Amino acid sequence: MNADYVIVGAGSAGCAMAYRLSEAGKDVLVIEHGGTDAGPFIQMPAALSYPMNMGVYDWGYKTLPEPHLGGRTLVTPRGKVIGGSSSINGMVYVRGHAGDYDHWEDSGASGWGYADVLPYFRRMEHWHESGQGGDVEWRGKDGPLHVSRGPRDNPLHTAFVKAGKQAGYQTTDDYNGQQQEGFGPMDMTVWQGRRWSAANAYLRPALERDNCNLIRAFARKVVIEDGRAVGVEVERGGKIEVIGANTEVILAASSINSPKMLMLSGIGPAKHLTDHGIDVVADRPGVGQNLQDHLEVYMQVACKQPITLFKYWTLFWKGVIGAKWLFTKKGLGASNQFESAAFIRSKAGVKYPDIQYHFLPIAVRYDGKVAAEGHGFQAHVGPMRSPSRGEVTLADSDPNTAPNIFFNYMSCDEDWEDFRTCLRHTREIFAQDAFEPYVKHEIQPGEALQTDEELDSFIREHAESAYHPCGTCRMGAADDPMSVVDPECRVIGVDGLRVADSSIFPRITNGNLNGPSIMTGEKAADHILGRGMLAPSNDAPWFHPDWETSQR
């Protein structure tokens, strides 16, 4: 069994590449360990807390004990299903800020500045404005990825944006348009009431072509002969076999599994590989390093009025909502409920937003546990650009063993300062007049916690991952020893091998990573095809004119 291009991982970037490569007439084979995404738990947007907690759809990874979070072990969900993590995520769609991509370019990822990536965001999107405003000219109109907005008919959404304005912050009609900074509506990868994953957007149409195929198998390692990738060793039906790649092997297996596969294939830090008895093909010390994520806390407030989604948190109402969705694809089941957002700067001198808010009209956790107080609402808040860096390393040389995942969260003083700032800014927003009819009391952290030490203790105990791991196969200049791939996504030191997924991000982007991951697959496809890139954009993004002297 062989193909011109063998893609490992049917996730966000892998699906996009399968679509674009097959569209160009190339013979493509996609290897995915997970199975089908059929069934209501994945396709129904409001059921998002289920798939990421189900072993059938998730790799089930956990971190090593995190010393700065009291030795807690945090879950690290990664999609093990067609669509990858786009099939189990919260469906929040954020491009990232222009400044993120310009930083990538300045870090050695030439050709990945904002002017270069904006045309790819436009190409991949089909933006549905639905009468709610937005920067239509900045958005794509006919791409495979449908992006829409929820109805925002709960009055708490209006209160959140109004409170931000009362506190002196900007509002923005479209944080994915010219101006990210400010309070406004949130975008979601939902279309006609269904999760619009990379599988729905890209993989299914690609598989309708004769030259694109998908096989279910567990990829063990890349087969390398004379310094060139020639195939992928897989386990399928209890047997180990090799799938040949006539032209290239492309890893798109996630920021956890892509570095793991490189190391199992002999590409990585030489001493680490030899310690595990793996022959070194290419000594790349950056493989598995530079691991980043977004941490967040849920700031929860009890609500005076019974208007939150808590009233639907019974078996009866869940059944009613589920049935309505099943038959009509409408109602509360058709939204992820993340319908309002904000991006703000933590202090003067910060050039572009470094704090993100997801607002939710219920007080609930990702695992589906609601606050004991009943009616409430919450803001997920956290810093966007933590200086802390972790690593993904091999536990042993067995491909079936989970890798060691260590984020080293909160390892810098700056992290603690930034998180306290997040909490205090949020308290100020919830104290505005717009929230006066709704705020009963603060559930967590709780008004009693005021000092730095008290807030630090809360953060240590309650900070959760936003599930945005990235950076472990960093893209950069070919002569940079810590780069893993060059700006064309080629693995440095091995021919015929590329990596294209969130692992190549030099630094984490502002907001959720699904959009940037799909963009990476879109742009990588043009590099692979060697047909020239889309023309850079001349559009100028908005930066606060007084950013040097003013926080808002």
Instruction: Work out the number of other CB atoms within 10 angstroms of the CB of residue 207.
Output: 20
To 5 degrees, how large is the angle CA 534–CA 539–CA 544? 140
Whether 468 is a known active-site residue: answer: yes
Report the CATH superfamily, name and number, of domain 1-146+189-263+471-530: FAD/NAD(P)-binding domain (3.50.50.60)
Q: How far apart are CA 508 and CA 385, in angstroms?
A: 7
136 annotated binding-site participant: no
Q: How far apart are CA 319 and CA 76, in angstroms?
A: 29
Rounded to the nearest 10 degrees, the angle between the axes of helix 114-124 and helix 98-106 is 130
For residue range 276-325, list pLDDT tens digits in order. Answer: 999 999 999 999 999 999 999 999 999 999 999 999 999 999 999 999 99
Partners of residue 546 on adjacent β-strands: none
pLDDT for residue 371: 78
Q: How far apart are CA 22 and CA 5, in angstroms?
A: 10
Q: What is the mean pLDDT for each group of 10 consecutive residues in the chain (552 residues)?
A: 97 98 98 94 93 94 98 97 98 98 98 98 92 88 96 96 98 97 98 97 98 98 98 97 98 98 98 98 98 97 97 93 96 96 98 98 82 91 98 98 98 98 98 98 97 98 97 98 98 98 98 98 98 96 98 98
Domain 151-185+295-383+411-462 falls in which CATH fold?
A: Cholesterol Oxidase; domain 2 (3.30.410)
91 annotated binding-site participant: yes
Half-sphere exposure of 118 (CA within 13 A, CB side): 21
Exactly one of 68, 146, 375, 468 is catalytic; name it. 468
Pick from 91, 83, 89, 75: which is nearest to 34 by CA?
83
Half-sphere exposure of 146 (CA within 13 A, CB side): 15
pLDDT for residue 214: 98
The CA R_g of the chain, rounded to the nearest whole Å, is 23
Which tokens go with 444? 């967590």
pLDDT for residue 133: 78
**Are the C-beta atoms of residues 82 and 216 closer than 8 Å to each other?**
no
Q: How far apart are CA 180 and CA 482, in angstroms?
A: 31
pLDDT for residue 367: 73
pLDDT for residue 448: 97
81 annotated binding-site participant: yes
pLDDT for residue 148: 96
Which of the 8 DSSP states describes residue 475? B
> Domain coordinates of the chain in residue numbers?
1-146+189-263+471-530, 151-185+295-383+411-462
Q: How far apart are CA 388 and CA 74, in angstroms?
A: 16
